[in-house]
Structure 1
């Protein structure tokens, strides 16, 4: 690729601190050999280390008052990620990968720029329909702004039909014939694929499945929880996971 590719993330509110952004940038630096820009869109740049090569920009204004004014509903269930489809998306052009903050990269991610497709995403593990998990998705910067227009003009209808941002984005792109998934096994769920099953959680440590590139942490535990063996749920036991500490830095 002649022009740099883009890695973007979004941080808002207090759920994740700036340390998550800094760690994500460090992981990308180790695991992406392609020339690239790393941009964090945020409502609070405090603590984000631009010396690491992070470009800090404000969350894009999209002409939708609920989002531009950060109405409470827009900050839940991932909805502000829809601003990544602004056209233009700042001055970004070309292939762009969005990464959630609560992931752990464990192998090269160069391959995520190789498969063709207008929108690549994780196949949601817990759904039998076309829903994708938007912890990791790729698109062309400036594409899919029609999703923003749809949300602007049909907010009430949209919110009746879907539970969250990833259902809204991926089901609409599926209807348009623009949705493709990452090869199975590239992106894995910590809870579904790394954790031992049942009672073995008390005796065995979580492991990285063969071929995994990115480990997704959805719900509890977060990466910092799993490092020390804190599950966040009474019914789940997590032994401390050294490989997270080795990679999440």
Structure 2
């Protein structure tokens, strides 16, 4: 059975309703047995939404909370699919869930040769990613929160550097360029690509900004 995971760190735009909408989208589009979990610092709110909560083991801010996905305390060493809270599931996840991922990531939409952490999948123990960040979180955040050469930034740049010696697949190469689509880059205003499993709302707009069209129904 695959685990589908998300991360909710309080203090920003997202709350438990975003995890609930993502959970519902996964349930509609993944026929295989699965477990949906949310790593969060607000476990009571998440559990009130009927979602299994895993308390965040560290108080790392913003996107850096994702590094807790590989903490031993999270226990996500089996087949795992991670999705950002601002992704909307629009098509079947069955092929992605069935694939024997070692470690896979989305591609960076504006720089396709780079990796993006909006969607990731793995199996096995990748706690070395957690340990690498935990060794110097303040220093790593200071280096990676500002754009690096080539526009690289944030958790995804750090993960990519940590995995530089590993073979990392992309969802683009495995399932097609638009399997993990960008609302902006793939011009999804009129509707998602027919071959998309999820649409990522990186930057603006976010799903809750769109009151008409296909997004409110798909995100309901």
Query: How far apart, in 2, do the equivalents of 1:96 and 1:45 lie?
Result: 20
Q: Show the counterpart of 1:176.
A: 165
User: In the alignment, which residue of structure 2 is the partner of 1:144?
Assistant: 126
Residue 136 (structure 1) shift: 1.0
Tell me the residue number matched to 1:8.
5
1:83 aligns to 2:72 (yes or no): no
State the SS of the aligned residue for 2:14. Answer: coil
Task: State the shift of 1:128 in Å.
Answer: 5.0
* 1:246 maps to which of 201, 204, 217: 217
Please state if 1:135 is matched with 2:118.
yes
Whole-Å separation in 2 of the counterparts to 1:40 and 1:165: 18
Give the Cα–Cα distance (whole angstroms) in 2 for the partners of residues 23 and 158 of structure 1: 30
Change (3 A) 1:42 1:153: closer
Structure 2 residue matching 1:81: 3-state secondary structure: helix
Judged with a 3 Å threshold, the aligned counterparts in structure 2 of structure 1 residues 128 and 194 are, in CA distance, closer, same or farther, namely: closer
TM-score, scaled relative to structure 2: 0.85
Partner of 2:105: 121
**For residues 34 and 165 of structure 1, what CA distance do their matches in structure 2 show?**
30
2:68 and 2:130 in contact (8 A); partners too: yes
Show the counterpart of 1:165: 155
Identify the residue that residue 191 of structure 1 maps to in structure 2.
184
**Gaps in structure 1 of 5+ consecutive residues:** 62-67, 196-204, 229-239
Deviation at 1:98, TM superposition (A): 0.8
Distance 1:181 1:128, change over 3 A: closer
TM-score normalised to structure 1 length: 0.75
Q: CA deviation at 1:151?
A: 1.9
C-alpha spacing 1:158/1:189, structure 2 compared with 1 (3 Å): same
